[in-house]
Amino acid sequence: MTARIIDGKSIAAQIRADLIPRVAALKARGVTPSLAAVLVGDDPASAVYVGAKKKAADELGMGSEIIRRPATTTQAELSALVKELNSRKELHGYIIQSPLPRGLEESSLVDLIDPAKDIDGFQPYNFGTMTLGGGTLLPCTPAGILELLVRSNITTAGAEVVVLGRGNIVGRPMSILLSRKGKGGDATVTLCHSRTKELYKHTRRADILILAMGQPEMVKGDMVKEGATIIDVGINRVDAPETPKGYRLVGDAHFATVSEVAGAITPVPGGVGPMTVAMLMQNTVLAAELKLK
């Protein structure tokens, strides 16, 4: 068996296309959905990620802004910035790009974000509402994964889903969303992590296996159930002296062996990553729409 490739780039493009008439409708009412990204320090990867988000917003005709602060910025200065962004009426949402430089505490800043502008979906109010079965501004990567599954006609209802990784950005909210009632949910979910014993016993029974451990190529073909769907969230840089850049990007799955067993799999890159950006755009548009109600 050779796995079907789940093309995140193509599905993300569909979502962006769906947003075009919604953006136009907002503009017709005198509202331009707008987002900002706070970039602290000079981490190259963070700069690339923020640039991709701004580009996506610009292409949709949305307002976008990158707010740069030096690595020497204090916690108090960032807290003041968050409060300022909360008060800006023309701004519908914003993110604080992680990781922050050492010495800065991200969680206390997220606590200060106005839930109505929390387009990352991490603010405690929004996270708690999601846990209770409601919510509108959902965490982007988990919500994007649900879209990948639904738009790829992969059934979650009644499926055995195993999530590797218990982080608050992907693993934990993913397990919550999949277990909720309704479209893209109704799954039986097992959440595994670095302390899980005999991990392979869990992964081998999964109809859907979601990898978010950040361990390069940790899941091999013999750990996967035949015909399973593999959603690989991992983006890991490994040395590859033979390449022009000297490295290559791999997921948490050993693609060569897993793709011979699985029924469907997301590539790295080009799988989950584009979906995260698309869902950030969708959350921004939704925040603008909700503000008008």
Domain contains 221: yes
Q: pLDDT (tens digit, 0 to 9) for every residue of the chain, 293 residues total?
A: 699 999 999 999 999 999 999 999 999 999 999 999 999 999 988 999 999 999 999 999 999 999 999 999 999 999 999 999 999 999 999 999 999 999 999 999 999 999 999 999 999 999 999 999 988 999 999 999 999 999 999 999 999 999 999 999 999 999 999 999 999 999 999 999 999 999 999 999 999 999 999 999 999 999 999 999 999 999 999 999 999 989 999 999 999 999 999 999 999 999 999 999 999 999 999 999 999 98
Domain contains 293: no
Q: Please tell me whether residues 154 and 268 are part of one structural domain.
A: yes
- Say how far apart CA 216 and CA 214 lie, in whole Å: 6
Burial class (CB in 10 A: 0-12, 13-18, 19+), 107: exposed
- Say how far apart CA 71 and CA 74 lie, in whole Å: 8
Nearest to residue 223, comparing CAs of 204, 251, 241? 204
Domain contains 292: no
Domain contains 8: no
Tally of residues, the chain: 293
Nearest to residue 19, comparing CAs of 55, 53, 51, 56? 56
Q: Please tell me whether residues 233 and 181 are part of one structural domain.
A: yes
Q: Please tell me whether residues 99 and 159 are part of one structural domain.
A: no
46 CB-side CA count, 13 A: 19
Range of the domain at 50: 22-114
Q: Domain of 268: which CATH number?
A: 3.40.50.720
pLDDT (0 to 100) of residue 293? 84
Residue in the block written with tokens 């390069």: 216
Catalytic residue among 9, 14, 43, 97: 97
Catalytic residue among 117, 118, 120, 232: 120
Domain contains 217: yes
Q: Please tell me whether residues 107 and 193 are part of one structural domain.
A: no
The DSSP element (H or E) to which 164 belongs, if any, is strand 160-164
Q: Please tell me whether residues 151 and 266 are part of one structural domain.
A: yes
Catalytic residue among 53, 207, 225, 252: 53
Q: Please tell me whether residues 73 and 158 are part of one structural domain.
A: no
14 is catalytic: no
* Total count of domains within the chain: 2
53 is catalytic: yes
- Say how far apart CA 94 and CA 87 lie, in whole Å: 12
Beta bridge partners of 160: 188
pLDDT (0 to 100) of residue 101? 96
pLDDT (0 to 100) of residue 1? 67
Give the number of other CB atoms < 10 A from CB of residue 7.
Answer: 16
| Token output for 9 | 């780039």
pLDDT (0 to 100) of residue 135? 87
**Bridge-based pairing state of the strands 236-239 and 229-232:** unpaired
Q: What share of the chain is helix, strand, coil (3-state, %, to 5)?
A: 40, 15, 40
CA-based end-to-end distance of the chain:
50
List phi, psi (to 5°) of 213. Answer: -100, -20
> For 221, which DSSP code?
G
Q: Please tell me whether residues 158 and 234 are part of one structural domain.
A: yes
Q: Domain of 94: which CATH number?
A: 3.40.50.10860
